[in-house]
Structure 1
Amino acid sequence: MPFGIYVHVPFCAARCGYCDFNTYTPSELAGSGASPEGWLAAVRGELSLAAAVAGPRPVDTVFVGGGTPSLIGADRLGAVLDAVRDAFGLAPGAEVTTEANPESTSPEFFAGIAEAGFTRVSLGMQSAAPHVLRVLDRRHTPGRAIAAVREARAAGIEHVNLDLIYATPGETVDDLRGSLDSVLAADVDHVSAYSLIVEDGTALARRVARGELPAPDDDVAAERYELIDDVLSAAGFAWYEVSNWARGAGAACRHNLGYWCDGDWWGAGPGAHSHLAGRRWWNVKHPARYAALLAAGQSPEAGAEELTEAERATERVMLGLRLAAGLPAGLLDEAGRAAAGQAAAEGLLDPVALAAGRAVLTRRGRLLADRVVRDLLAATPA
């Protein structure tokens, strides 16, 4: 089974209004003693611990996420990858990804991470419309993401992804078309597109609650998704997960496929989650507490759960159904297969694939994926 390492960078220059990730701005960390250097030392310590627990397993994929990994610079990102090599070693052809905010990148940054061994970068574009970026509290200018793609390509980064957020209040069809035109002009080989979700406790949620912004509309989001799928499909991209499209050999994100295919991974960093052989655990969230525990030779684990076989089977259905490959109908019992047949009759599952033994979402089914999962699981008792 492939083995991945996720490394969480908790630092951001500013907090986007829609974000509820475990991230911290300089003002939020003031006086705590947390710093990028302390974080890096702690990550090295956790990776050494991981090697002692997981045993000798070459790493197939590395994903540095956040937060804003590009904010800590190419040298520190290279040091993170060196720590993974020291603790585990990289498998031949390993995929190594970092997320990046366009405004904290440069030609020198991309040259540095390419030299360190990164093979993939995921850039948070979100939109090419200035007023949409303002609603999202994104700080980069619309053209910066496209320039960053070109810089990454020039540095020799093999695979580049752009993230889009759609159905933001105030976004028009023309706004989204403009964003898609920019994506295609940038010549990336991977696109991730997510419908805006208003998360509790965020600045965006407070603005919606005060009536400053309307809540995202589900029907509008469905129409926008179909537009994205049409445009990307016409340009040679193929969906391989509900929110992800790739073009060309090797462009799909192997690290994320590990999550969706019930793989094993170790999550290092504050608040990071891990999964090994049915055991899931998560780290303490605050960077200062995380670093202090590891400096004292202690595990940063905050909590854990042991998944039963029934729970793992449920997760396989929930995650596997989101993939273009679908899931084996054999994972469902007789009632579940009957529910799958009903979903096919309603145009939510591909009837030809189902007859061949796999439950595969149609495009209409992708729009209603959560409902299909609920129906299959309700009919398949744990």
Structure 2
Amino acid sequence: MTVRTAPVALPAMRSTADRPFGIYIHVPFCATRCGYCDFNTYTPSELGGANPDGWLTALAVELEQAARHLGTAPEVSTVFVGGGTPSLLGGAGLTAVLDALRGSFSLAPDAEVTTEANPESTSPRLFEQLRAAGYTRVSLGMQSTAPHVLATLDRTHSPGRALAAAREAAAAGFDHVNLDLIYGTPGETDDDLLRSVDAAVAAGVDHLSAYALVVEDGTAMARRVRRGELAMPDDDVLARRYELLDAQLSAASFAWYEVSNWSRPGGECLHNIGYWNGGEWWGAGPGAHGFVDAVRWWNVKHPANYARHLGDGMLPIADYERLDADTMHVEDVMLRVRLRDGLPLGVLTASERRRVDALVGDGLLRRLGDRLVLTDRGRLLADAVVRDLLD
């Protein structure tokens, strides 16, 4: 696909009435860059000291143009403010984000409103401000409680800070608090992971996400691996770590609802479930992706270009694609099979349904009524299951 440097015009689109509609807002600022991160983020030195106020102004303009582009702006059922480090905006900044959204869109009365936060840029006062602004859920980057693991990941918070932040959020009135874990970091042991899981559970949160470390090309960690300074664990080690954390969480009354996510009853992240179940969303902010009416698009990445295009009266679209029926089908299977609720058999083509018996016989899938659900072993091989299933 041709990459355009100037913004392009989105085609006309309308949200689908029977699908949940969400808004994702990308905050592109970080105090420092973690060695494993390849997200669209910028440190103060990379932005030349640019003030986030300019980003907030541009965001409000994008949201206003988004509502206009959609014609009749749909009611928003979920909001997710991610990054980057949204908590660097402070309570006033994150309140302004929601004010900008409410200026152009209507939030459902029971809308789930999430912000990510890094533990080192939070405080009891911040959580109080977020609750007063209307946030209902907070997701904290914990990664690990092992100091040497945090050091390898270039995380700056102390091992106990994420746990303290989770308790502060609960004290401020947040019923839904998530902690993110990363497993498979070079130098991590099984015991390191289990201690981290135990500590997260003891913090009283109702949701945990856990992701195997992926070393992305172009990151500082990839360069260290290439130089032989770090040795990545093999797939067998990652599989064992996944089984260990799943068993530990199950014993603590957490249930998996997506391959990398566990919650107590009622603690599931509705915004992410919307992604996995084919919902639609507007992605606002530099580099954000959106999906409405079979059109997927992505914004220009740099905050200065983003603000400039909006200042010129244009949506900051880098490019877009219209998904055809085959692509929609592949993505539907790929995402829904990862859910505990499983994949409806009716979604599959006749030839794909004929492959189900082999995957059930191999112990990777099981039938639950008219749905297919990954087995414990199938969760470890979810990508392979999708490849074997699809035409």
Please classify the TM superposition score into its range, dividing by the shorter chain length.
Answer: over 0.9
Q: Which residue of 2 aligns with 1:7?
A: 25
Instruction: Tell whether the 8 Å contact from 1:119 to 1:157 is kept in structure 2 after alignment.
Output: yes
- For 1:304, the aligned partner's letter is Y
How is 1:175-186 mapped onto 2 (pairs within 5 angstroms)?
175-186=192-203
- For 2:141, the aligned partner's letter is G
How is 1:62-211 mapped onto 2 (pairs within 5 angstroms)?
62-211=79-228
Ranked by relative contact order (alpha carbons within 8 Å, sequence separation 6 or more), the top structure is: 2
322-331 vs 17-26, greater mean Cα deviation: 322-331
Instruction: Tell whether the 8 Å contact from 1:10 to 1:270 is kept in structure 2 after alignment.
Output: yes
How is 1:326-341 mapped onto 2 (pairs within 5 angstroms)?
326-341=342-357
The gaps in structure 2 that reach 5 residues or longer are 1-18
What are the Cα deviations for residues 8-52 of structure 1, in whole angstroms up to 9, with x where unaligned?
000000000100000000111117xx4210000000000001111
Deviation at 1:216, TM superposition (A): 3.0
Q: Which residue of 2 aligns with 1:325?
A: 341
- For 2:385, the aligned partner's letter is V
Deviation at 1:320, TM superposition (A): 0.4
For normalisation by structure 1, the TM-score amounts to 0.96
- For 1:371, the aligned partner's letter is A
Residue 98 of structure 2 aligns to a residue in which SS?
helix
Q: Which residue of 2 aligns with 1:372?
A: 385
- Superposition RMSD in Å: 0.9
The correspondence for 2:59, drawn from 43, 48, 56, is: 43
The correspondence for 1:21, drawn from 39, 45, 57, is: 39
Q: Which residue of 2 aligns with 1:230?
A: 247
The gaps in structure 1 that reach 5 residues or longer are none
- For 2:286, the aligned partner's letter is P
Residue 64 of structure 1 aligns to a residue in which SS?
strand
Residue 236 of structure 1 aligns to a residue in which SS?
coil
Deviation at 1:201, TM superposition (A): 0.4
Count of residue correspondences: 372
Deviation at 1:56, TM superposition (A): 2.5
Q: Which residue of 2 aligns with 1:243?
A: 260
How is 1:349-360 mapped onto 2 (pairs within 5 angstroms)?
349-350=365-366, 352-353=367-368, 356-360=369-373
Runs of 4+ in 1 over 6 A off after TM superposition: none
Q: Distance in 2 between matches of 1:75 and 1:5?
A: 20
Does 2:316 correspond to 1:295?
no
Q: Distance in 2 between matches of 1:334 and 1:281?
A: 31
For normalisation by structure 2, the TM-score amounts to 0.94
Q: Distance in 2 between matches of 1:12 and 1:211?
A: 28
Q: Distance in 1 between matches of 2:59 and 2:83?
A: 14
Instruction: Tell whether the 8 Å contact from 1:9 to 1:269 is kept in structure 2 after alignment.
Output: yes
Greater fraction of residues in helix: 1
Deviation at 1:248, TM superposition (A): 2.0
